[in-house]
Structure 1
Amino acid sequence: MPSSSSAASDSGRPVPSSLWRDGDFRRLWVGQTASQLGEHASLVVLPLVAVLTLNAGAGQLGALRAVGQAPILLLSLFAGVWVDRWRTRTLMALTDAGRALALGAAAVAGFLGGLGLPALLVVAFAVGALSVFFDVAYQASLVRLVKRDQLVRANSALEGSRSAAQIGGPALGGALVSVLSAPIAAASSAVFFALSTVSIRRIGRRESVPEHSERPPRVWRRIHEGLRFVTGDTSLRTVCLASATFQFFFAAVMTVYLLFLPRDLHLSGTAVGLALAATGPGALLGSLLAARLPSRFGYGAVLVSAAVLGDGVFLFVPALHGSPMVTIPALLTVNFAFGTFSQLVNVTVMTIRQTVTPDRMQGRAAATINFVGMGLTPLGSLLGGLLAEAWGTRTSLLVTAAGMLLSPALMALSPLARLGRTLPAPPESTDSPEITSE
C-alpha cells in the first residue's frame, strides 16, 4: 500500500510545503468552491420553487427533501467502493457534469412550462445521487493529494471555501427565485457545476489508486470491509452514531424552518436566502478556528463544546416574532453562530476520520460514515413535514431543535471526548507522523 506521501508525489514532484503554491491543490480548491456554491444554491432553489411557485404544502416539501436525500441511504456504500477503485478526479468531474445537466434540464423544463412537482422530484433525486459520489470522492481526494501532516490545514482551506459558498449560494438562490424565475434559478446552479468540472479536470498530478488488482474482491465484500473497519474503531463508531442523530433531527429542523420563515415570519425569498447565507461567514470563522483550537485545547474538548453551542442555538428560533426588522437580525445571529460551531465540528471530525483511517480505506470509511450518519435524513425530512402539519411550526421547531442536542451528548459520553492535542496514526500506517493542528 503506498503511503500518502508517495501518492501525493506520484507525478515525481513533491507537494510544496505551502498548500497554496501547489497548483493542483488550487485547482481542487476552485473546483470544490464552485461545486459547493452550486450545491448550496440548489438546496435553496428547489424547496423555494416548490413553496413559492408551486404552492407546495408541508408534506410535499418534506417529500421533496426526502427524495433528494434518499440517495445517501441507497448509494453511499457503493460510492465508497467506487472511490477506492477509481481516480477521484474522474469521479468528481463526472458527477459535477451530471449535476449541471440535471439542473440544466430543469431550467429547460421551466422555460417550456413543464417544471412541476414531479419534475422537481426527479431533479432532486438525480442531483442527490450525484452529490453522494462527489462528496465521498472529494474527501478521499485530499488524502491522496496532500501529506498527512497537511490535512488539518488542507481541510481548513477546503471547508473555508465551502463557507464562502454558504454565503453566496443561499442568497443567490433565494434572490433568483424571488426576483427572476425558477428556470433562471436552476440554470445558475448548473453553471457553477460546469465550472467545477472544468477546474477539476485540469488537476495534472497523476493519482495513485490505493488498491488495484486483476481480480478485485466482490463489491459486497469490500462494503463489508468498510463497515467492519468503521464499527471496529471506537472513535469512528461514535462519529457515526452522533452524526446520525444530528442529521436526522437537523433534516427535520430544516424542513420546518423553510416553512416557518416565509409563512410564519412572512419573509420573502430574498430574505430567506439572506438569513441562510449568514451561516457562511460563521462557517468561515469556524474553519479558521479549527486550524488552531484543537492543538490548544484538544480535539475532544473542542468537538463536544462546539457541538453543544452550535446545536443549542436553534432553540431560540421558535421564540421569534415581530416584523422583519426584528426577526432578520436575530436569524442572522443564530445562523452565524450555528455556522461557526458546526463548521468547527465538521473540520475536526473530518480530520479525525482521515487521520485514523488507512489510505486504502479512505473512500469506504467516508462512505460508511455518510451512509450511517446521513442515511436517516429522508426520514427526518418527512418527520419535519408531518410534525409541522400536526403541531404547527413553532412547536415542531422546538422539539426537533432539542433533539439535535442528543448528538453532543453521545460524543461527551464516548472516548471521542477524551481525545487530546494529537491524533494516533492509522493502524496500518504506524510510521506516519502524528497529526497536530500546528
Structure 2
Amino acid sequence: MNQNQERMMGNKGFRTFWLSHTATQFGSQVAFLGLPLVASLTLSATPMEMGILGALEYAPFLFIGLFAGVWVDRFPRRPQLILSNVGRALLLALIPIASFAGVLSMGWLYIIAFLTGIGTVFFDIAYQSYLPALVNKEQLVKGNSLLEGSRSAAQMSGPGLAGAIVQFTAAPVAMLTTSLAFLISAFSLLFIKRDEEVSSSPGAKRGLWEDIREGLRLSFSEPLLFGVIRCSGIFNFSWSVMFSVYVLYAIEELQLSSGWLGFVYGGMGVGFFLGASLVHKAIRKFGMGPVVVGSAAIAACGGPFAPLAVGSDGMTALILSVGQFFFGLGISMWSISTLSLRQTIVPAHLQGRVNATVRFVSWGAYPLGSLVGGYLGNAFGMRIALIAGAVGLAVSVSTLLFTPFLRRKEKSVQELEKGNFKGIG
C-alpha cells in the first residue's frame, strides 16, 4: 500500500463514503437484473414493453439531468445523496407490496422505474461531484478505483443473488434486497462530518439557464471532455439497444434459467474487478489518453458474443459471460479514467454541471436506445437488435480517433493539472 493510499484509508470520511457506495452498488446490481425479471417472468412483458421499461428508467437524465447539475452545484451534496437513496428504497419496496396485493402491472412498473430514475439522476451526479471534497486530487484515481472495485464486487454477487432469489422465491422479492441496501447506504452517509464548500449562497446565484449554459459551454468546448461525451452517448445508445432485449432473449430464445442468467452477469463483475485493479497501473505505463481509447475498445469487444451464443445451457451461458467480462473490464477502466480526468481538470464549482452534462448525453441515450431496441426486437427479432447494438459499439470507439486522446500521455494527476486545456481555468 503506497503513501497516498495509506492516507486515503485513514480518511474516515472516505471510508464511510466507500461503505455507502458499496451498499448502493450492491442494491443497484440486484435491481439491474431483478427489475427486467419482474417484467419478463411475473408480467410476461413483450420486447417493446421491455424497451419502454428501460427507457423510462433512464428518461429522467434527459428531462432533468441538466437542472439536477445546477442543483448539485448550488447545495451541499451529502443531503442529496441521502434523500436520493431513501426515495429509491421506498419506491422499489412498492413492487413486492403491489405484487403480493395482486395489483402489480406494467403500468405500475413504468411509474416506479421513472420515479426511481429521478433519484438515480441526483445520486449519480452528486456522488461523482462529492468525492473531490473527501480526498486530495492526487488520490482521485485511486479513490475512483476503490469505488469501482466495490461496483465490481457488487456486479459479481448482485445479479447472482437476484437470480437465486427469483429462482427460489419470486422476482418481486429481489426488490426488497435493493431497498434494504439503499437504506443502509443512506444511513451510513449520516456519519460523514466533513464540511463541503458551496461556492456561494443560493440566493446570490445567477439565473438557472445561465448556469446550465456555463456547464454546457465548458463540456462541449474542451476537446477531451467533448470526446468523452460523444463516445459515451453513442456507446450507451448502442448498449441500450442490446440490453433492452437481452434478458428476454436469454430467457425466451436461449432458454436460460434465472440462475444461469445470474452467472452470466457475474462475468461483468469479474471484468469490473480486474479493470479497477489494473487501471491505475495502465495509466502510469501508457498515459491517460491511450487508456481511455483502449478501455472503450475492450468494452466494445463484448458486443458480438450475445448474438453468436449457441450450444448447451452451460456453453451458452459461458459465451454470454465472456461478453459480459469484456464489457465489465472496458467499462470499469473507462469510468475510472474519464471520471478522474473530469474531477481533475474541471473547477470544483462546475463539477456538478459538467457531470450532469456528461450524464445528460451519455445516460440520456439509454431511453432512446431502449425504444429502438424494443422496436427492432418486435419488428425484426431480438437477435437483429443485438447485432445492431454491437455494430453501434464499434462506431462509438471509432469517434475517439478524432480526438487528442492518443496524443495525451499524462501519467499522473499532477501532469494532467499542468496540461493546457482549452476553456478550463
- Amino acid in structure 2 at the alignment position of 1:414: T
Q: 1:74 aligns with which of 52, 60, 63?
A: 63
Give 1:284's aligned residue. 273
Partner of 2:103: 114
Q: AA paired with 1:234?
A: P
Aligned 1:207-222 pairs, distance under 5 A? 207-212=196-201, 214-222=203-211
Q: Secondary structure at the match of 1:41?
A: helix
Please say if residues 278 and 335 of structure 1, whose CA atoms lie closer than 8 Å, have aligned partners that are also in contact: yes
C-alpha distance 409-428 of structure 1, shift in aligned 2 (>3 A): closer
Question: Are residues 1:425 and 2:417 paired?
Answer: yes
Deviations 1:95-154 (A, max 9, x none): 000011101122221221111111111110111110010000000010111111111111
> What are the Cα deviations for residues 146-165 of structure 1, in whole angstroms up to 9, with x where unaligned?
11111111111111111111
For the 8 Å contact 1:110–1:182, the answer to whether it is kept is no
- TM-score w.r.t. structure 2 length? 0.94
- Aligned partners of 1:38 and 1:192 also within 8 Å: yes
Contact 1:84 1:364 in 2 (8 A): yes
> How far 1:271 sits from its partner (Å)?
1.3
**TM-score (norm: length of structure 1):** 0.91
Contact 1:358 1:427 (8 Å CA) reproduced: no
1:382-418 Cα deviation digits (max 9, x unpaired): 1111111222122221121111111111112211222
Residue in 2 aligned with 1:61? 50
> Could you say if the C-alpha distance between residues 419 and 119 of structure 1 is closer, same or farther in structure 2, counting changes exceeding 3 Å?
same
Q: Shift in Å at residue 90 of structure 1?
A: 0.7
The yes-or-no answer on 1:337 pairing with 2:329 is no
Out of 68, 71, 75, which is 1:86 matched to?
A: 75
- Determine helix, strand or coil for the equivalent of 1:266: coil
Alpha-carbon distance between aligned partners in 2 of 1:240 and 1:153, rounded to the nearest angstrom? 23
The CA distance in 1 between the partners of 2:242 and 2:336, in whole Å, is 22
In structure 2, the CA distance between the partners of 1:267 and 1:347, relative to structure 1 (3 Å rule), is: same
Bigger drift between 177-186 and 161-170 goes to: 177-186
Q: Which residue of 1 aligns with 2:350?
A: 361
Instruction: Please tell me whether residue 374 in structure 1 is matched to residue 367 in structure 2.
Output: no
Partner residue of 1:189 out of 163, 167, 178: 178
Gaps of 5+ in 2: none
Letter in 2 for 1:32: H
CA shift, 1:313, in A, is 2.6
Which of these residues, 386, 392, 395, is aligned with residue 397 of structure 1?
386
Alpha-carbon separation, structure 1, partners of 2:340 and 2:11: 20
Does the C-alpha gap of structure 1 residues 350 and 37 become closer, same or farther in structure 2, counting only changes over 3 Å? same
Structure 1: distance between partners of 2:170 and 2:5: 45
3-state SS of paired residue (1:405): helix
* Aligned equivalent of 2:247: 258
Decide which of 139, 148, 155 is 2:144's aligned counterpart: 155
Measure, in 2, the Cα distance between the counterparts of 1:142 and 1:82: 17
Q: Indicate the residue corresponding to 2:118 in structure 1.
A: 129
Structure 2 residue 13 is the aligned partner of structure 1 residue 21? no
CA distance in 2, matches of 1:42, 1:325: 24
Change over 3 Å in CA distance of 1:157–1:338 after alignment to 2 = same
- Letter of the 1:206 counterpart: D
**C-alpha RMSD over aligned residues:** 2.0
Structure 2 residue aligned with 1:317: 306
Aligned partner of 1:143 among 132, 139, 143:
132
- Partners of 2:397 and 2:172 in 1: CA distance: 40
Partner of 2:317: 328
The whole-number CA distance in structure 2 between the counterparts of 1:308 and 1:337 is: 9
Q: Which amino acid aligns with 2:417?
A: A
Change (3 A) 1:221 1:276: same
Q: Aligned partners of 1:377 and 1:200: how far apart in 2?
A: 29
- Matched ranges for 1:5-44 at <5 A: 18-44=7-33
Between the two proteins, the alignment pairs up a number of residues equal to 417
Does the 8 Å contact 2:125/2:355 carry over to 1?
Answer: yes
Q: Distance in 1 between matches of 2:165 and 2:302?
A: 29
Displacement of 1:256 in angstroms is 2.4
Higher mean displacement: 131-140 or 181-190? 181-190
Partner AA of 1:395 in structure 2: I
Closer, same or farther: CA 142–322 of 1 in aligned 2, 3 Å: same
Alpha-carbon distance change, 179 to 416 in structure 1, aligned in 2, over 3 angstroms: same
Q: 1:325-349 deviations in whole A, cap 9, x for unaligned?
A: 2111222222122211221111111
State the partner residue of 1:204: 193
Q: Identity of paired residues, percent?
A: 37
Question: What is the aligned partner in structure 2 of residue 272 from structure 1?
Answer: 261
Residue 180 of structure 1, CA deviation: 0.8
Q: Does the residue aligned with 2:292 lie in a helix, a strand or coil?
A: helix
Distance in 2, Cα, partners of 1:325 & 1:38? 27
- The SS at the match of 2:64 is helix
Q: 1:428 to 1:140 in 2, by over 3 A?
A: farther
Aligned partners of 2:225 and 2:44: how far apart in 1? 42
The 8 Å contact of residues 355 and 426 in structure 1, kept in 2 or not, is answered as: no
Secondary structure of 2:310's match?
coil
Give, as a single letter, the amino acid of the residue that structure 2 aligns with 1:293.
A
Q: Structure 1 residue 305 and structure 2 residue 294: aligned?
A: yes
Encode CA deviations 1:28-65: one digit per residue, 9 max, x unaligned.
00101111111121121111111111111001110111
How far the C-alpha of 1:214 sits from its partner, in A, is 4.1
Query: Offset at 1:224?
Result: 1.0
Q: CA deviation at 1:174?
A: 2.2
Contact 1:279 1:335 in 2 (8 A): yes
Asked if residue 234 in structure 1 is aligned to residue 223 in structure 2, the reply is: yes
Counterpart Cα distance in 2 of 1:279 and 1:213: 41
Contact 1:166/1:277 (<8 A) preserved = yes
Contact 1:265 1:323 in 2 (8 A): no
